[in-house]
Amino acid sequence: MLTSADTQPEEFRILTYNIQVGIGSHRLRHMILHGWRYVMPHGQTIRNLERISRQIREYDIVGLNEADAGSFRTRYLNQAHFLANKAGYPYWEQLVTRDLGHFAQHTNSALSRFPTEKVLRHRLPSLMDGRGVLELHYRVHGRLLVVLVTHLGLRRGARLLQMRYLARIVNQYPSVVLMGDFNCVAHSEEMAWLLSHTHLQAPQHCPVTFPSWRPVVALDHILASEDLDIQEVTVIPEPLSDHLALGARLRWRAPQEEPAGRELAG
């Protein structure tokens, strides 16, 4: 776990976490036996969220996937708001990506220690509504940073369309972090397309995050623009969801350190 003593003033820490609505699957059998928890309230949710809050509190910006905005299955608890309060984050935002009324409210959410200067909410192309990207503008150590929190589709064709949409957003800004559950690995065709059509960079090492009880694939990713140095990427090994939380320590590069610019495809 990173602590405040581990970072310099030009550094900051970010985390992406698919929290699986707080149902707490951390064994293969839980995916079958606990499936009802996706639609029904249960007593373990609060305890799981409290444990998650202890995992995430050392970071500066946290992106959440599958946090419920307050519905029957969570006893109308807004999970992002709950985690922000428990972990001590003064700022939080969310985008409801799949609105099933009183039954379920899937979101992409963000918690932050930096004030939010601007928020935009985008719907990503998909055969079924339910995929989106939450765009947040922060002033981080005096420099403007755009953070994009997303959760991509299960089908490769849909992800390619969604990557093209994301590239158009990314290429509007010089300093960007894109993070979330991409549902694809680092060497996939769609990831290669995104990296070749934007100024985003992937870390040299992509830790595996899924399934949390025996991780074999890296589905969760943190990408950063070339004016940011990805110092460290780690997972939090305690499984409180079907995904592990993925964290990174980023450092602003001095202007002379930044790579020469290149023309980016739209």
In a domain, 260, yes or no: no
User: What is the distance between the alpha carbons of residues 126 and 29, in angstroms, rounded to a whole number?
Assistant: 30
CATH code (residue 71): 3.60.10.10
Domain that holds residue 211: 8-254
Handedness of CA 15, 20, 21, 27 (dihedral sign): negative
In a domain, 137, yes or no: yes
> What does the pLDDT look like over 193-204, one tens digit per residue?
999 999 999 999
* Mean pLDDT value of segment 222-228: 98
In a domain, 3, yes or no: no
Question: Which pLDDT band, with edges at 50, 70 and 90, does 44 fall under?
Answer: confident
Query: For the chain, what is the domain count?
Result: 1
Q: Do 250 and 224 form a contact (C-beta atoms < 8 A)? A: yes
- Please say if the pLDDT value at position 23 is more than 90: no
In a domain, 122, yes or no: yes
Pairing of strands 200-201, 132-140: unpaired
- Please say if the pLDDT value at position 137 is more than 60: yes
